[in-house]
């Protein structure tokens, strides 16, 4: 067998840049005019993309908040992650009003919410708060 490589664990502090970068990426993708979006994105089912985007956002939020070194974030992290993800989805829908070819949609936000709720269920069942 070859030499074993050590896996470097993500520290609580190193989770924040990933979470914040993903949040910024979602914002940028949401306000980008529709004609500037890659064809692979525009041809995909919009509701499925919303579901996946917010499923991932909620998982990142859960892990980041639950493993935070600051008690403000760590206490009731699941609830804070759900609320943040739901409100961020609503904010992004509102922000799309100014983008060419985009419009705010309750159905898009509903797909966001379903992704968040599935992530919450998975988070609760699998105990993703365990440090890695």
Question: Is the residue at 29 inside a domain?
Answer: yes
Give the residue among 78, 72, 70 at the shortest CA–CA distance from 123: 78
SS3 76: coil
101 CB-near residues (< 8 Å, 6+ apart): 33, 34, 35
* Tens-digit pLDDT string for the chain (132 aa): 456 666 556 665 667 889 999 999 999 998 888 788 878 777 788 899 999 999 999 999 988 888 776 666 666 888 899 999 999 999 999 998 878 888 889 999 999 999 999 999 988 887 654 544
Question: Is the residue at 55 inside a domain?
Answer: yes
Q: Residue 16's pLDDT is what? A: 85
Per DSSP, the residues of 17-44 read: HHHHHHHHHHHHHHHS-GGGS-HHHHHS
Q: Model-level pTM?
A: 0.81
Q: What is the distance between the alpha carbons of residues 118 and 100, in angstroms, rounded to a whole number?
A: 31
Number of domains in the chain: 1
């Amino acid at each position: 067998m070859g030499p074993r490589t050590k896996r470097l664990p993500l520290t609580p502090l190193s989770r924040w840049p990933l979470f914040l970068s993903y949040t910024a990426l979602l914002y940028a993708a949401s306000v980008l005019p529709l004609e500037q979006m890659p064809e692979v994105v525009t041809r995909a089912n919009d509701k499925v993309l919303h579901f996946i985007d917010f499923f991932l956002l909620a998982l990142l939020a859960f892990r980041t908040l639950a493993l935070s070194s600051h008690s403000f974030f760590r206490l009731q992290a699941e609830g804070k992650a759900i609320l943040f993800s739901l409100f961020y989805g609503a904010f992004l829908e509102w922000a799309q009003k100014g983008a060419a070819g985009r419009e705010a949609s309750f159905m898009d936000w509903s797909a966001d919410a379903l992704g968040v709720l599935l992530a919450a269920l998975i988070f609760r069942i699998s105990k993703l708060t365990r440090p890695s």
